[in-house]
Amino acid sequence: MSSDINNLLRDKIPEIQLDLNTVKIDTTVPFDLYDEYGNVVVEINTPLTEPLIKHLKSTGIKYLYYNPAQSKAKENPAGLDTGKNVLDESQQKESIDLAKEVLDSIKSTIDFTPKSITPDKIKKTYKHVDDILNHIENNSDSIFIPFNKLKSMSEYTYIHSSNVSILGALLGARLEYNRTVRVRMGVGGLFHDIGKVLVDDKILNKESQLTEDEFRLIRNHPQLGYNLVKDSRELSTLEKSIVLFHHERPDGQGYPFKYDYNSYTGNVPKEVRLLSICDAYSSLTIKTPYREAFSPKKALRIILNSVYAPFKKKSQFLPADVRDFIRSLGFMLNKGEYFFEKGETVRLSSGEIAVIEEMNRLYPINPKIRMITNKQLKALDRPVTIDLLREPSIFIAHIFDRSTMVQAGSKS
Amino acid sequence: MTIDEFLEKISNNKKRFTEYNDIKYSKFKAYAEIQNITGLIEAIPFLLSSNHNSLPGYIQGYEPIGILNYQPSSNAINYIVRKFPAVQPVPNKNNGPVVELMAIMGSAGTIAYNEESDIDYWLCIDEGSIDTKTIEQFKSKLRDVELWITDNHNIETHFFLNDISKVKDDIFDADEEDISGKALGKLLKDEFYRSSILLYGKIPFWWAIPPGSTDENYEKYLKVVKDSQFKDDFIDLGNLNIVQKEEFLGAGLFQILKSLGNPFKSILKIGILEKYLLEEDKSTLLCNRLKAEIQKGNYDTGFVDGYIFMFNQVLEYYQKKAEEDPFALEVLKRCFYIKIDPRLSEIGNIEDKKFIPEKQSIMMDYTKKWNWLSAKIRQMDDFHNWELTALNKFWNNISKLILKTYKKILDNIETQIIEKQFTGDELQYISRRIRSSFSYGTNKIKPAISFNDNPIEKFLFIESISQEDGSILWLLSKGFISGAGSSKRSIMHKESSLLAILAWIAINRLFQKNVTRIEIKSRYQLLEKTFVRELLNELTLHFSPKKVNIKNKYFFHDPFPVLNFIIINLSAKYPKGIEDVYYLYHNSWGETIYEKYEREIDLSAILTKLLNGAVEHSDTFINSVYITSPYPYKASKSFKSILFLFNDIYEFFTVKEPDEIPGTITRKYLTVLGGNFILFSHQIVNKENKVTSNVFNTELTMLYSLSSLQGIKNIIRVNPLNPELNHLKIIIENFRADAVQIYYQKARKYCYFFVSDERGSIFFFRKKADNFQDYLTRLYMFSRNIIIQVKKNNPESVFNNKESKGIEIFKLDRNDLNKCRISEINPSKDENIFRHEKKVVPLKLSLLLLESGELGYRFSLPDGGISENLTRTEIEAVSGEMSVLMQTNQGYNYSVTDINFSNLDLKMYKNFTTYGFTEKNRFELLIEKGGNF
């Protein structure tokens, strides 16, 4: 008998039985839970969520067992919310409160030195993101609607930072990045606009057209933020890069460095580029006192329309990044629906205009299309049908829309 | 009271007990003399306390345990010398460890005793003072002597070996379970104190103290006696004063459940239960009531005879209630008379009472008291010849009484009292069991209403008649000599099948070879009459309800077969294969069921039932299953292979591995029956063992179902007589617990892969022959990757052992005759795998839990991205897209090369490679099912 069997069984008797038909949903047991055969099925302190229970039942498991006499309970991670809807309003509020707490604490210091962000605050942020990730990972097929209602413009940065943090962590998880990167994307999201605390609220909240100077001040926020965080021992290069590069873009119109395509792809890490998309998505979907929010569908279309393609003069994101964002979060953000449909007219990255014939799930921006023009936009005599799945280098770079095209990006 | 006065009282009580015990013993001896077993009875202690190789129960190297105060009597010496000339009877040693008390329990020495009665012995030892090996040897000796007595004297004898200190705590050898806690032990102790006859050793101290003494006083008295001249006279088996009602209920119900096949025993047991629960404020146990009388010197038969004493208690209770239920009283009286069977009408007018045997004399007193007229007595004496209608009516009355009383008990006991003893489910089971014993479906064989311990008939007659609706009815009659001296027949039983009739004869022990003459007359069925007689003999020998050991815990579950009897081709004259199968079984509720099947494949249904019983009761095959058939089929290869299958599968599911920890191993057994593949699987649900069977028309579906085993260790066995399964046999035999073993078999159209994992699960993959090298490489990559994960997640994994083989690859060759061989390939030196791996675009499968509870999947795509979360249905739906991606991206394939469980909170997926292979298989099958491959 191998030692693993003995070890697994050591805790078997006397044991307590949990009937999966009657166990309270979200019960957390501070012991490993075994099946009839002594397999550890669920680890210590794992919430018995409804999906988990349903799944176990579907595999034929009706009862789980644990042995309180011999297992050693671990401390339940503080703040771990075992609620089913992880990111419901109240939970997102916690995130917003944390963003407020962190950003306000910097504001309240007089000198705005890097010491304004205390290690405790950063640790708290890490923990918070970690907790959020626990929920996100356990509810991988739920939808996510970021908090989007503002009472006043003064709340904007907090809510937006919180949204970007959650979206960043979620995206990291969906792309199977390791846990550390997921957490850092979340923390980076929370801190990405930290430089704005040094910009006058009057400018940030200004309703009328900004002057060139005011624009310049706002555009300086990544650099200001970076100055605040660059010497922090608690924050990693990734978070610092997020603060610094989140407004860079491949068309040379980003800031602070105005990178061109090559510098952009060479200097800005993939995780930061992805977070920029999260930043854009959050900005577009928050309703402010001055403008209506875009629907998730519309916001996703705007993001796709901002993807780099050779025929475009302006672009904000790289195709591979948009593809990853859409694959990972597209359905989740858009309540499980496609954000464009069969029959819509699109422009391909290679320049032709086409009509969508059939959607592809694995490569959503590579549907089957009917090409109706050539690259010079001259109508084809005989439209050609192509499955873009077979031509992965060509993708939808623009969806035509009856409404006005809006440049993606935050107010800044 | 002074100590001297107290000791005088003790001395007096001791004397009373000795007198009382002597009377009982002399009665027993009188019966033994009539039965001509005095020599045996007096020699039994000698057999138990000696160890000679000519004697039964000889154990090599065993130093015998003696019996206190036993010295062989002249009867015993004569008996030994006559039976075992080589043995010199020597006086019993008393200097080593000894049995401190030897007693007989039960009906011995009572009015109910007859030559068919069992004799139960109780032996008490101090286990603490004897080493375990000696005790085990002694137990083994006891079993051997039991068997020897049964074989040589036809007397069923049982020895119960009890540890004195356990008896003190009300734990007995016979009390094998803990379901009703100590209460059952207390009832058993009550029965012991009031019905036992002390043969040798010390007197139980309980008999020396006043009735109703509290536990505290018992200990106080004991202390005084231990310091007195009586210190060696008594044995401390513990006090017995009162039993709480709720405890009594629990224990009493079990006694009722166990006695349900025996009407009179049931009535007495349920009567006592009702009396205790409803009449008494405090449950004064019968033994205390008896002790009070004996200590007064009242040696009236009503007290000395334990059986009469018990009956009188119940009778008295029913008499008190006679106004509200006269019917119950009458049923009780009749049952008692029939049970004792004194045949008073045959005695005639014996004037001088002293010539009337005691049994008859006692019963005459009763019938006089009950004002029974001679016609009624004659009618009761003729019970054995009652017609079926009268018998059924009587049986119905008994049933009514038991059910009514049971209901009354349940209604009157406060719910919370019951709940203390049983859960709602358990109580429901008890009620179901009680009701079930009085209801008879078509397949249930009703026991006879017999009060007779020796029911063997001299002449039985079986005939079939046609009924109005065209169906056939089988009648069983017995022959007897009427009062007028002419031979007559009376119908005893009817059934719709011959087998049911035969089973009924067997279970009611009516038949004995060389004693019973049997005649069979069938107008409608070809019958091999010699076989029927032989079958009846086999049934009597192998299907006796006496062989069934029903445990209390069985009543809390659905019934399962305990003793099985299978007859193949009973009514087929020249069968080619299997044409009919009769399945008879006794179940765990004490019921007898028969079922009829017609096809070979139906054997799987029989096996499933039978195995479900076997995994619960764990009795040996030889004790539990008997399979027979008429010749010539019985001599055929086909019959022998069935016999082998039943034996093989039975052993497989019941015989445990050395050091097996219960509940950690799942077993699967594969066989071919009637051209189908049958897979028997053992599972545990709510700590209950279940065996299920699945029938597969094709080998392919069977192979896919082999996967997914949940045990910590999985054992698969194939029927070695089925050449179709040779390939699996060779894989199973080659199993290693520290490796993932990959087997491949190439065929013209397809190639087949088998994976045997570290837990003994077997997975099957079928791919197109063209994909052979690609799939083998990917399977190898997958195995390598999952082992890495398991090693990381589970420090206890076998793969973390330095000696672990990791991955083994074998080529499997199987020819048209199903001859198989395997040859090993070293994957690390295999150029083909090495070269091909460089071309492979990996596919990593990631598992997650969806809101619906099912598993979601995402997987890597050729552009390095990852798909969104997909359900199983959605995977099927993207099968077409997958096909396109494979065409346009060289090296990309849906065959999984790696798996990620880190998004799942389910440890079970991470500790072994099993689930990895299961999910890999599932994913690939879903894509294939999508239709584009």
A40 with A161, same domain: the answer is no
Digit-coded pLDDT (tens) for B58-98:
999 888 889 998 888 889 999 999 999 888 877 666 567 78
Q: Residue A74's pLDDT band (boundaries 50, 70, 90)?
A: very low
Digit-coded pLDDT (tens) for A360-387:
989 999 999 999 999 999 999 999 999 9
Chain-chain contact of A54 with B852 (C-beta, under 8 angstroms)? yes
Which residues, including other chains, have CB under 8 Å from residue B594's CB and lie 6 or more apart? B443, B445, B497, B499, B500, B503, B582, B583, B584, B585
DSSP helix, strand, coil percent of chain B (3-state; round to 5): 45, 20, 35
Compare CB distances from A39 to B710, B853, B868 and report the shortest one's residue. Answer: B710
Among B364, B398, B413, the domain-final residue is: B413
What Å distances lie between residue B901 and B92, B136, B846, B917, CA to CA?
A: 72, 51, 6, 12
Chain B residues with CB inside 8 Å of A63's CB? Answer: 685-686
3-state secondary structure of B805: coil
Chain B residues with CB inside 8 Å of A176's CB? Answer: 846, 858, 866, 900, 903
Report yes or no: A10 at the B interface, CB cutoff 8 Å: no
A220 with A357, same domain: the answer is no
d(CA B452, CA B492): 15
**Closest residue, chain B, to A53 (C-alpha):** B853
Report yes or no: A8 at the B interface, CB cutoff 8 Å: yes
pLDDT at site B704: 85
Q: Residue B482's pLDDT band (boundaries 50, 70, 90)?
A: low
Q: Which amino acid is at A220?
A: N
Digit-coded pLDDT (tens) for B768-806:
999 999 999 999 999 999 999 999 999 999 999 988 989
Compare CB distances from B907 to A41, A49, A174 and report the shortest one's residue. Answer: A41
Give the pairing type, strands B844-849 and B898-900.
parallel
d(CA B416, CA B420): 6
Q: Residue A238's pLDDT band (boundaries 50, 70, 90)?
A: very high
Does residue B237 contact residue B207 with C-beta atoms inside 8 Å? no
d(CA B184, CA B263): 21
pLDDT at site A411: 39
Render the burial of B129-149: b for 16+ CB within 10 Å, e for the rest: ebeeebbebbeebbebbbeeb
Chain-chain contact of A139 with B851 (C-beta, under 8 angstroms)? yes
A362 with A275, same domain: the answer is no
B281 with B233, same domain: the answer is no
Chain-chain contact of A328 with B884 (C-beta, under 8 angstroms)? no
Does residue B777 contact residue B840 with C-beta atoms inside 8 Å? yes
**Closest residue, chain A, to B714 (C-alpha):** A37
Chain-chain contact of B661 with A9 (C-beta, under 8 angstroms)? yes
Q: Structure tokens of B130?
A: 């004897």
Digit-coded pLDDT (tens) for B10-51:
999 999 999 999 999 998 998 888 888 899 999 999 999 989
Q: Is residue B527 part of a domain?
A: no
First CA to last CA distance, chain B: 100
**Closest residue, chain A, to B889 (C-alpha):** A390
Q: Which domain holds residue B402?
A: 263-413
As beta bridge partners, residue A358 has: A368
A268 with A384, same domain: the answer is no
Helix (H) or strand (E) holding B763: strand B762-768
What's the complex ipTM? 0.74
Does residue B90 contact residue B60 with C-beta atoms inside 8 Å? no
d(CA A270, CA B147): 84
B833 with B905, same domain: the answer is yes
B110 with B229, same domain: the answer is yes
Digit-coded pLDDT (tens) for B284-333:
788 988 999 999 999 988 888 988 998 998 898 888 887 877 888 898 89
Q: Is residue B833 part of a domain?
A: yes
| Residue B393, phi then psi, degrees to nearest 5 | -65, -45
Helix (H) or strand (E) holding A275: helix A270-285
Chain B residues with CB inside 8 Å of A5's CB? Answer: 661, 664, 712-713
The DSSP output letter for B284 is B
Compare CB distances from A36 to B659, B687, B881 and report the shortest one's residue. Answer: B687
Q: Structure tokens of B538?
A: 């086999």
Which residues, including other chains, have CB under 8 Å from residue A72's CB and lie 6 or more apart? none
Digit-coded pLDDT (tens) for B649-700:
999 999 888 777 777 788 899 999 989 999 999 887 777 788 999 999 888 8
Centre a 10 Å sphere on the Cβ of residue B421 and count the other Cβ atoms it contains. Answer: 20
Chain-chain contact of B712 with A323 (C-beta, under 8 angstroms)? no
A233 with A371, same domain: the answer is no
Burial class (CB in 10 A: 0-12, 13-18, 19+), B74: exposed
**Closest residue, chain B, to A328 (C-alpha):** B868
Report yes or no: A260 at the B interface, CB cutoff 8 Å: no
Digit-coded pLDDT (tens) for A40-64:
888 877 888 888 898 888 888 888 8
Chain A residues with CB inside 8 Å of B918's CB? Answer: none
Chain-chain contact of A37 with B711 (C-beta, under 8 angstroms)? yes
d(CA A164, CA A281): 8
Q: What percent of chain B has pLDDT over 90?
A: 41
Instruction: Write down how long chain A is.
Output: 412
B57 with B199, same domain: the answer is yes
The A residues from 151 to 170 touching B (CB cutoff 8 Å) are none
Does residue B307 contact residue B112 with C-beta atoms inside 8 Å? yes
Chain B residues with CB inside 8 Å of A6's CB? Answer: 661
Give the pairing type, strands A345-348 and A353-358.
antiparallel
Digit-coded pLDDT (tens) for B546-597:
777 777 778 778 889 999 999 999 877 778 889 999 999 999 888 889 899 9
Q: Is residue A82 part of a domain?
A: no
Compare CB distances from B888 to A3, A360, A390 and report the shortest one's residue. Answer: A390
Inter-chain contacts counted by CB atoms under 8 A, chains A and B: 166
Chain-chain contact of B849 with A41 (C-beta, under 8 angstroms)? no
- Across the range A313-328, mean pLDDT stands at 95
A20 with A97, same domain: the answer is no
B182 with B288, same domain: the answer is no
3-state secondary structure of B12: helix
Q: Structure tokens of B227?
A: 């310091």
3-state secondary structure of B457: coil
| Residue B479, phi then psi, degrees to nearest 5 | -100, 145
Compare CB distances from B713 to A5, A51, A362 and report the shortest one's residue. Answer: A5
Chain-chain contact of A53 with B846 (C-beta, under 8 angstroms)? no
Which of the residues B665, B907, B910 would you substitute to probe the A interface, choosing the one with the greatest number of A C-beta atoms within 10 Å? B907
d(CA A238, CA A232): 12
B178 with B106, same domain: the answer is yes
Q: How far is B683 from chain A (nearest CA, A)?
A: 9
| Residue B322, phi then psi, degrees to nearest 5 | -60, -30
B306 with B185, same domain: the answer is no
Q: Is residue B373 part of a domain?
A: yes
Digit-coded pLDDT (tens) for A114-160:
566 778 888 888 888 888 888 776 555 566 777 767 777 778 888 99
Q: Residue B848's pLDDT band (boundaries 50, 70, 90)?
A: confident
Q: Is residue A351 part of a domain?
A: yes
A205 with A350, same domain: the answer is no
Q: Residue B188's pLDDT band (boundaries 50, 70, 90)?
A: confident
Region of poorest pLDDT, from A242-246, B415-419, B654-658? B415-419
Given a cut of 50, whether residue B207 has pLDDT beyond it is yes
pLDDT at site B242: 79
Given a cut of 70, whether residue A12 has pLDDT beyond it is no
Which residues, including other chains, have CB under 8 Å from residue B182's CB and lie 6 or more apart? B169, B170, B171, B247
3-state secondary structure of B502: helix
Among A276, A293, A310, the domain-final residue is: A293
As beta bridge partners, residue B56 has: none
CA neighbor of B896 nearest in space, from B852, B844, B861: B844
Given a cut of 60, whether residue A17 has pLDDT beyond it is yes
Which stretches within B825-871 are classed as H helix? 831-839
Q: Which domain holds residue A383?
A: 319-399
User: C-alpha dihedral over A307, A312, A314, A319, to 10 degrees?
Assistant: 20
A388 with A334, same domain: the answer is yes
Report yes or no: A321 at the B interface, CB cutoff 8 Å: no
**What is the count of structural domains for chain B?**
3
Q: Is residue A22 part of a domain?
A: yes
Centre a 10 Å sphere on the Cβ of residue B475 and count the other Cβ atoms it contains. Answer: 18
Of B710 and B384, the one with more pLDDT: B384
Q: Is residue B701 part of a domain?
A: no
Q: Residue A313's pLDDT band (boundaries 50, 70, 90)?
A: very high
A255 with A154, same domain: the answer is yes
d(CA B341, CA B335): 10
User: How would you list the strands of the sheet with B459-466, edge to edge?
Assistant: B487-495, B472-481, B459-466, B517-521
Q: Is residue B273 part of a domain?
A: yes
pLDDT at site B353: 66
pLDDT at site B795: 92
Omega prior to B827 cis, within 30 of 0: no
The DSSP output letter for A338 is -
Chain-chain contact of A43 with B794 (C-beta, under 8 angstroms)? no
A53 with A133, same domain: the answer is no
Among A66, A81, A101, the domain-final residue is: A66
Q: Is residue A119 part of a domain?
A: yes
pLDDT at site A78: 19
Q: Structure tokens of B570?
A: 């009973």
**Closest residue, chain A, to B851 (C-alpha):** A51
CA A56 to centroid of chain Cα atoms: 29
Does residue B474 contact residue B496 with C-beta atoms inside 8 Å? yes
B291 with B227, same domain: the answer is no
A222 with A278, same domain: the answer is yes
Give the pairing type, strands B101-105 and B119-125.
antiparallel
What Å distances lie between residue B196 and B13, B70, B192, B265, B269, CA to CA?
A: 17, 18, 5, 18, 18
d(CA A340, CA A361): 12
CATH of the domain at A111: 1.10.3210.10
Q: Is residue B838 part of a domain?
A: yes
Diameter of chain B measured on Cα atoms: 116
Mean pLDDT of chain B: 86
d(CA B779, CA B842): 11
Which residues, including other chains, have CB under 8 Å from residue A128's CB and lie 6 or more apart? A79, A94, A95, A98
| Residue A149, phi then psi, degrees to nearest 5 | -110, 130
Given a cut of 60, whether residue B212 has pLDDT beyond it is yes
Centre a 10 Å sphere on the Cβ of residue B123 and count the other Cβ atoms it contains. Answer: 23
Q: Is residue B880 part of a domain?
A: yes
Compare CB distances from A140 to B797, B903, B908 and report the shortest one's residue. Answer: B903
Helix (H) or strand (E) holding B688: strand B688-696
Q: Structure tokens of B628?
A: 């027979």
Burial class (CB in 10 A: 0-12, 13-18, 19+), B349: exposed
Q: Is residue B705 part of a domain?
A: no
d(CA B635, CA A321): 77
Compare CB distances from B664 to A9, A174, A362 and report the shortest one's residue. Answer: A9
Q: What percent of chain A has pLDDT over 70?
A: 83
Taking phi first (over 0 means left), then psi (-120 to 50 degrees means alpha), and beta for anything else, what does residue B323 get?
A: alpha
What Å distances lie between residue A63 and A35, A41, B186, B578, B690, CA to CA?
A: 7, 11, 35, 41, 15
CATH of the domain at A38: 3.90.105
**Half-sphere exposure in the Cβ direction for B245 (13 Å, CA):** 19
